[in-house]
Amino acid sequence: MRIKMFAAAAMLGVAALGMSACAPTLNATVSRYQAMPAPRGQTFSVVPGEGMAARDGLEFQHFAGLVTQQLATRGYTPATNAGSANLIVQLGYGVDHGQVRYFADPFWNDFHGGFWGRSFYRPWGWRRSGFGFGWGDPFMDDGVTSYVEYHGEVDLHIRAADSGQPLFDGRAQARSDTNRLDVLVPNLVNALFTGFPGQSGEVIKITVPAHRG
């Protein structure tokens, strides 16, 4: 039993060391459909889309600035106003209210005088699908830790201003330990623009460095 406990402790120590040594990242699922023209200085304007972006205001303007920077670095030109733009860029974003998840520590019984043969079962508590993975206000009960998981999403739609022809439909989704939009939206925008505009119809996993506010 002592050997078993020592091995378990060593494994936990190595895991903790590995986690502390790694830079935080965000794993996003990105879907893209595109028929984007080659950039030749076309002008664009970013306007509010669905979700929390529909409220407009200073928050939206901040996130719209991030999209403007991404498109400008790729050869498109910000328009002075939406009426003069060649491309209309709709930006939407949001985060859910979070769901409680449960994680069972497999070493709990050894460290607390239990034994593996004892019947032990706890539901993982999966509720309605959400975006988000994180550790929020954890508590321990017989080796079961609870945490709150949030689901964040950014949607981007680009249309030709004169005809309304769809040129780009993109979505980035991720699980997170926070519901802060100032954390989630910039990271999801980075994921959505990684390899932009991408292959039409692709659904890929993209990992980006996670920046917190």
Q: Could you give the count of Cα atoms lying within 13 Å of 46 in the half-sphere of its Cβ?
A: 23
Q: Are 198 and 33 in contact (CB under 8 A)?
A: no
Return the pLDDT at 190.
Answer: 96
Q: Are 89 and 170 in contact (CB under 8 A)?
A: no
E strand segments, the chain: 25-34, 43-51, 77-78, 87-95, 99-104, 140-141, 144-160, 166-176, 202-209
Angle made by CA atoms 134, 209, 187, in degrees to the nearest 5: 75
Q: Where are the domains of the chain?
A: 24-209
Return the pLDDT at 109.
Answer: 53
Tokens representing 141 are 């009960």
Instruction: Provide mean pLDDT across the span 168-177.
Output: 95
Return the CA Rg of the chain: 22
**Chain center to CA of 177:** 10
Nearest of 186, 174, 173 to residue 212 by alpha carbon: 186
Q: What single-letter DSSP state applies at residue 53?
A: G
83 or 105: which carries more pLDDT confidence? 83
Tokens representing 187 are 């990271």
Measured distance CA(101)–CA(81) in Å, rounded:
45
Collapsing DSSP states into helix, strand and coil, what is residue 115? Answer: coil
Q: Residue ranges of the alpha helices (H) in the chain?
A: 2-21, 57-72, 108-111, 181-192
User: What is the assigned CATH class of domain 24-209?
Assistant: alpha beta
Q: Is 141 exposed, middle or buried (0-12, 13-18, 19+ CB in 10 A)?
A: exposed
Q: What is the pLDDT of residues 22-73, one digit of tens each?
A: 558 889 999 999 999 999 989 999 999 999 999 889 999 999 999 999 999 9
Nearest of 149, 141, 147 to residue 122 by alpha carbon: 141
Q: What is the pLDDT of residues 84-94, one digit of tens each?
A: 999 999 999 99
Return the pLDDT at 122.
Answer: 34
Find all residues with CB under 8 Å of 106, minimum gap 6, and list them.
Answer: 143
